[in-house]
Amino acid sequence: MTDQEDPRADETWGTVPRLVDDASRRHGEIEALVDGAMRLTYAELAPEVDRYARGFVAGGVAVGDRVAIWAPNCAEWMLAALGLLRAGGVLVPMNTRFKGAEAAYILRSSGAVMLATVRGFLGTDYPAMVEDEDTGALSRTVLLKGEIGDASGANVMGLAEFLSEGEGIDPAETRARAASVRPNDISDLIFTSGTTGSPKGAATTHAQTLRTFGTWASIVGLRAGDRYLVVNPFFHTFGYKAGILACLMAGATVVPEPVFDADAVMRRIEAERITVLPGPPTLYQTLLADPSRTEHDLSSLRLGVTGAAVVPVELVHAMRDELGFGTVLTAYGLTESCGTVTMCRRSDPPEVIAGTSGRAIPGLEVRAVVDGEEVAPGEPGEIVVRGYTVMTGYWGDERATAEAIDADGWLHTGDVGVMDDTGNVTITDRVKDMYVVGGFNAYPAEIEAMLRGHEAVAQVAVVGVPDERMGEVGCAYVVPAAGVTKDELDETGRAILGWSRGVMANYKVPRGVVFVEELPLNAGGKVLKRELRRRHEEGADHVVTNERSR
């Protein structure tokens, strides 16, 4: 594949139902989906997707109806999603970490008429979590996995019953529905993580998604016969669109992994001869640090794609040298832009792959602006993007849509970054993450990059916190490097603060260090800084300080 847009995305793969049918013809004998005992070739995938589509039709889902899927990565998630789209519905993926009230909010906001979910994942009973919540138009729940049980709640049915009902639907009905889906129809509502308030549903079309991920698959070099372990959650664009849909477009095999566990993942890589393993930087760092890694044959790995956080150049080298990846790429995107804005290319050197998120994918315009004016290369500004990836809008929220997409069609990402002379973008911060110390703007990502240079720092996130004298100051949440004991934490914290005074301007020096076992992350691997600010505000953390650092 060449580093350009794949023209088939618009012409041949204008809708997801058409993509499934086309893939079954083009890649018939290649395995499409492998999950435990289930192994479906592409030729077998299409009729199985149609079984699910007929189930949705029998269940009363009309063209354009929204249906939510609240489940971990599994074969049934993929089949339900593709079946729903074949039936003309709109997919609403839901985060498996949600609690009842959070899930109910998404169900109400989207107007979902049906929920496909599971019971028993990590001990969780999802239907029970929303049983006493206001779920709006929701009228039926289907269990993709798990027993129905006695306390199932009203209108809950098992997968066998769901599929059995669908047998009464003439396949001509789902063929007609699939044919009626147009490229510019809404295919999914993926709700934002809510970093700037209540989650909002970004609406994107079939054509937008397929054009974007036809390009994505071409740039990363995904190819027929690749075996793709999808650890990134299906409810996120990285798992669903850069996972399921990209595989369908390339003829690769989807191997779902519900929970990241280093040992389980390494065993799966070895057993299934996995070639493609995208994920956040922490995934690869965990594999590299696992002492049992040498006991597993990981030689099949060839392609890694990461992002969502700063990637140390040492990690890129280690992924190639120690994990065996022939290709390592980084990228940047957001839900409101189909999950993709910029990407590195296979020909880029490790320093560019680690130090930037690459340049705009073909057909997109990307700029860094301040007050609407484009800034010079190397100067920080808000990243804005215009083109085919930009969502049609936030579902049912014209005001929020107008705030995000200006009159000229530019999506304002809320991310601060710099662009070099060749267009490579380096994301430095969220607009809202910047804080002001005594009149000086402090950018956490810049400070974090410097702190990672200290030998005792494995991972770090810096947030601005209130200070009587300076207005705001930085507080560094640090995952200590291996070998730092609990008894050494206070001394280590003071050492980090003292070291910082020698490598950064005074206003950038954090005023406190909090040691944590792990940083709170969202589904895409981004640190939830609002969670860190909340923790600091509640005063529950032990903050190591050094008065001299003030």
Q: What is the mean pLDDT of each run of 10 residues along the chain (550 residues)?
A: 45 82 96 97 98 98 98 98 98 90 93 96 91 95 82 78 97 98 97 68 97 96 98 94 98 96 97 96 90 96 84 90 95 94 95 94 96 93 96 95 96 93 88 74 81 93 85 92 92 94 86 94 80 89 72
The pLDDT of residue 466: 86
CA distances 68 to 21, 54, 140, 142, 235, Å, are 23, 17, 11, 10, 10
Give the single-character DSSP code of 349.
-
Q: Where in the chain is the domain with CATH 3.30.300.30?
A: 434-549
Three-state secondary structure along 94-123? Answer: CCCCCCHHHHHHHHHHHCCCEEEEEEEECC
CATH assignment, 260-387+409-431: 3.40.50.12780
Name beta bridge partners: 305: 329
Q: What is the pLDDT of residues 169-186, one digit of tens each?
A: 999 999 999 999 999 999
The pLDDT of residue 431: 72
Q: 387: phi > 0 → left, psi -120 to 50 → alpha, else beta; which?
A: left
Q: Where in the chain is the domain with CATH 3.40.50.12780?
A: 10-204, 260-387+409-431
Three-state secondary structure along 128-186? Answer: HHHCCCCCCCCCEEEEEECCCCCCCCCCEEEHHHHHHHHCCCCHHHHHHHHHHCCCCCE
Cα(342)–Cα(427) distance, integer angstroms: 11
Q: 8, 210 in Cβ contact below 8 A?
A: no
Work out the angle between the directed axes of helices 444-451 and 489-503 (0-180°, nearest 10): 110
Q: What is the pLDDT of residues 288-300, one digit of tens each?
A: 999 999 999 999 9
Q: 510, 475 in Cβ contact below 8 A?
A: yes
The pLDDT of residue 101: 85
CA 500 to chain centre: 33
Q: 450, 500 in Cβ contact below 8 A?
A: yes
Q: Which CATH number fits domain 10-204: 3.40.50.261, 2.60.120.260, 3.40.50.12780, 3.40.50.10300?
A: 3.40.50.12780
The pLDDT of residue 11: 46
Work out the angle between the directed axes of helices 75-86 and 171-180 (0-180°, nearest 10): 70
CA angle, 210 then 426 then 497, to 5°: 135
The pLDDT of residue 523: 67
Tokens describing residue 252 = 């690769």
* Listed residue (151, 290, 207) closest to 18, CA to CA: 207
Work out the angle between the directed axes of helices 262-272 and 281-289 (0-180°, nearest 10): 90
* Listed residue (58, 60, 52) closest to 168, CA to CA: 58
Cα(405)–Cα(392) distance, integer angstroms: 9
CA Rg value for the chain: 24
* Listed residue (235, 181, 196, 233) closest to 394, CA to CA: 196
- Helix locations, 433-488, DSSP H: 444-451
Q: Give the alpha-carbon dihedral of 76, 78, 82, 84, to 10 degrees.
A: 50
Q: 14, 207 in Cβ contact below 8 A?
A: yes
Q: What is the pLDDT of residues 299-339, one digit of tens each?
A: 999 999 997 666 888 999 999 999 999 999 999 999 999 99
CATH class of 434-549: alpha beta
Cα(1)–Cα(252) distance, integer angstroms: 14
